[in-house]
């Protein structure tokens, strides 16, 4: 008997909030960038490239975390197993990422058609995110949603299972995971090589390839964490 | 009648404390069970384990024929309504009901709508803005309309007024008669539910103290009052749970085989015989301060 779909639909009961927050905040960020660069963007070579897009990713991460804090105790209370709940949350995130990826792609098309909203602004497709293939472009948009989403889910589950100290341990682990290589690279004087490596990667491998691997790892970590989590 | 739940030596420890200590019992199909006991006795922990929401430290467990942990097939037939149920923040009452409709295969939408009317629940109000009583009513509605073959109610009516509680009992009984199922009702309002309960499970400090049909309990338990000597004579053949003394007169709560013959003998001795309410029994059995389960220890104080 498959209860994954019903468990997913429970999240969609209040679907407008799933759309309204990320896109409302993205729109706000867009408007501010547009106004700002309309005033000062004239002298930027190649047009202003903004990082405003990151807002929609941050909100998606937070909302993925909330799908745990809000819906995990509720769903478990309504006789959903942890495994089914996790499958439902993952399915939801996958659908959300794909939808958002497509929507961003459509926005990019408009951005291109209007020559960067009339001021050559790269908001939805800043040059470093660009791919000319529609499918690849959608993937480039989509996979970071998955990474951040599964990270939000994993962090919220760590919180559920081990409480606030679990979150601290997670933060320390993350810092070490990022900090130790940084120390090593500095000590060995490898920064130039690292920079070159990143430069050699295409937007696809950098934003979809490696992150896909990371998303998979985070999804697995979440699954292991939820197995013995209690509400 | 067949068995829907079997627990064998179920033990749950939280660090140093033992919440459930070698608990064994069965639940019979299509019966209303009363799971009774004091605060912290282990009732909620037991129900959480039976519904796969928590884990036993050791012991064997079978719910609807299988182990409940992470078992979709079992849990689809189980509904656990608890006082502490939380709802997503932006949920309105109708959203919570939609979720229940999606998740419980036996959900009856019409019945749910009728119950919403009965309890006068505002469908478009946010759940977090409901009063305590209304929040309980929402849980009760979900628990009843889910029509799960195995339904647990854990203190379902915190804050519900007397009228609403009566509605709950009435609807529960009426629906139970039409759609028999196994119900476990955990509550402190024992007198109110004593007519509903067909089987009593009394748990105290993690141990099962009593596991008997309500009918057997009614014949086994009596209050005998009269002169000391005569009461002593009757008490000799029974367990004495409690004794009150007023001058030369004694009133004793006894547990034993009080069949019609024995009852005739008791009244023949000039003693007054009265039934013991379920609530009184629970108070007598669980108010001992030194070690649970010592049935001979007299209770402390009067329940009322």
**Residue B173 and residue B253 share a domain:** no
B14: domain CATH number? Answer: 3.40.50.300
Q: B301 in a domain, yes or no? A: no
Structural domain ending residue among the three candidates B213, B230, B256: B213
Cα distance between residue A106 and residue B106, in whole Å: 43
CA distances from B79 to A80, A132, B76, B142, B270 (A): 10, 52, 8, 9, 51
Query: Does residue A12 contact residue A18 with C-beta atoms inside 8 Å?
Result: yes
**pLDDT recorded at residue B1:** 65
Q: Which domain holds residue B148?
A: 3-213
Report which secondary-structure segment, H or E, holds B175.
Answer: helix B162-178
Give the predicted TM-score (pTM) of the model. Answer: 0.88
Report which secondary-structure segment, H or E, holds A61.
Answer: helix A54-77
Q: Which distant-in-sequence residues (6+ apart) come within 8 Å of B136 by Cβ?
A: B83, B156, B157, B158, B159, B160
Q: A98 in a domain, yes or no? A: yes
**Residue B235 and residue B184 share a domain:** no
As given in the structure block, the two tokens for residue B30 are 């299509």
Q: Which domain holds residue A71?
A: 4-226
What are the beta bridge partners of residue B208?
A: B203
**Residue B180 and residue B31 share a domain:** yes
Query: Does residue A151 contact residue A63 with C-beta atoms inside 8 Å?
Result: no
Task: Answer whether B70 sits within 8 Å of A81, measured CB to CB.
Answer: yes
In order along its 304 residues, chain B shows pLDDT tens digits of 689 999 999 999 988 889 999 999 999 999 999 999 988 888 999 999 999 988 899 999 999 999 998 999 999 999 999 988 999 999 999 999 999 999 999 999 999 999 999 999 999 999 999 999 999 999 999 999 999 999 999 999 888 999 999 999 999 999 999 999 999 999 888 888 888 999 999 999 899 988 999 888 888 889 999 998 888 888 888 888 888 888 889 999 998 888 888 888 888 888 888 888 888 888 888 886 444 444 443 433 444 3
**Residue B272 and residue B245 share a domain:** yes
Count up the domains in chain B and report the number. 2
Q: Pick from B79, B86, B95: which is nearest to A73 by CB?
A: B86
**Which residues between 93 and 122 in chain B have a beta carbon less than 8 angstroms from any beta carbon of chain A?**
95, 98-100, 102-104
**Residue B175 and residue B50 share a domain:** yes
**Residue B247 and residue B165 share a domain:** no
Structural domain ending residue among the three candidates B213, B235, B265: B213
**Residue B196 and residue B54 share a domain:** yes
Q: A50 in a domain, yes or no? A: yes
B275: domain CATH number? Answer: 3.30.70.240
Task: Answer whether A78 sits within 8 Å of B72, measured CB to CB.
Answer: no
Structural domain ending residue among the three candidates B213, B248, B273: B213
Q: Pick from A6, A70, A83: which is nearest to B89 by CB?
A: A70
Q: A231 in a domain, yes or no? A: no
């Amino acid at each position: 008997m498959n209860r994954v779909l019903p468990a997913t639909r429970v999240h969609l009961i209040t679907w407008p909030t799933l759309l309204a927050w990320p896109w409302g905040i993205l729109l706000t960020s867009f408007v501010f960038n547009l106004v700002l660069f309309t005033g000062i963007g004239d002298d930027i070579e190649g047009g202003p490239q903004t990082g405003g897009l990151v807002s929609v990713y941050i909100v998606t991460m937070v909302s993925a975390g909330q799908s745990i804090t809000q819906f995990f105790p509720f769903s478990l209370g309504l006789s959903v197993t942890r495994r089914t709940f996790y499958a439902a949350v993952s399915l939801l995130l996958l659908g959300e990422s794909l939808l958002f990826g497509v929507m961003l792609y459509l926005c990019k098309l408009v951005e291109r058609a209007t020559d960067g909203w009339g001021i050559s602004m790269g908001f939805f497709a800043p040059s470093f995110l660009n791919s000319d293939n529609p499918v690849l472009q959608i993937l480039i948009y989509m996979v970071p949603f998955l990474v951040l989403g599964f990270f939000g889910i994993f962090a919220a589950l760590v919180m559920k299972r081990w409480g606030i100290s679990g979150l601290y341990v997670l933060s320390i682990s993350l810092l070490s995971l990022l900090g130790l290589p940084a120390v090593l690279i500095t000590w060995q004087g490898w920064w130039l090589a690292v920079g070159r490596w990143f430069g050699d990667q295409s937007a696809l491998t950098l934003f979809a390839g490696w992150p896909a691997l990371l998303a998979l790892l985070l999804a697995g970590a979440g699954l292991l964490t939820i197995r013995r989590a209690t509400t | 009648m067949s068995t829907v739940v079997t627990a064998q030596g179920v033990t749950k420890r939280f660090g140093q404390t033992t919440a459930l200590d070698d608990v064994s019992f069965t639940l019979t199909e299509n019966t209303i069970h009363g799971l009774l006991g004091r605060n912290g006795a282990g009732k909620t922990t037991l129900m959480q384990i039976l519904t796969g929401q928590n884990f036993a430290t050791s012991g064997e467990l079978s719910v609807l024929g299988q182990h409940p942990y992470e078992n979709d097939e079992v849990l689809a037939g189980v509904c656990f309504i608890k006082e502490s149920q939380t709802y997503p923040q932006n949920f309105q009452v109708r959203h919570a009901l939609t979720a229940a409709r999606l998740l419980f295969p036996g959900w009856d939408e019409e019945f749910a709508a009728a119950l919403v009317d009965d309890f006068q629940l505002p469908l478009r109000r946010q759940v977090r803005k409901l009063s305590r009583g209304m929040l309980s009513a929402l849980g009760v509605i979900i628990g009843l309309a889910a029509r799960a073959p195995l339904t647990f109610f854990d203190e379902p009516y915190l804050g519900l007024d007397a009228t609403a509680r009566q509605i709950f009992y009435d609807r529960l009984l009426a629906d139970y008669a039409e759609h028999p199922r196994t119900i476990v009702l955990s509550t402190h309002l024992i007198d109110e539910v004593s007519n509903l309960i067909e089987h009593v499970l009394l748990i105290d400090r993690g141990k099962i103290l009593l596991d008997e049909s309500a009918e057997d309990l009614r014949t086994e338990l009596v209050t005998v009052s009269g002169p000391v000597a005569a009461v002593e004579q009757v008490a000799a053949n029974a367990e004495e749970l409690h004794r009150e003394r007023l001058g030369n007169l004694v009133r004793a709560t006894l547990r034993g085989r009080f069949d019609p013959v024995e009852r005739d003998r008791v009244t023949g001795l000039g003693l007054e015989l009265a039934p013991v309410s379920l609530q009184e029994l629970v108070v007598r059995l669980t108010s001992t301060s030194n070690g649970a389960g010592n049935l001979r220890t007299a209770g402390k104080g009067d329940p009322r």
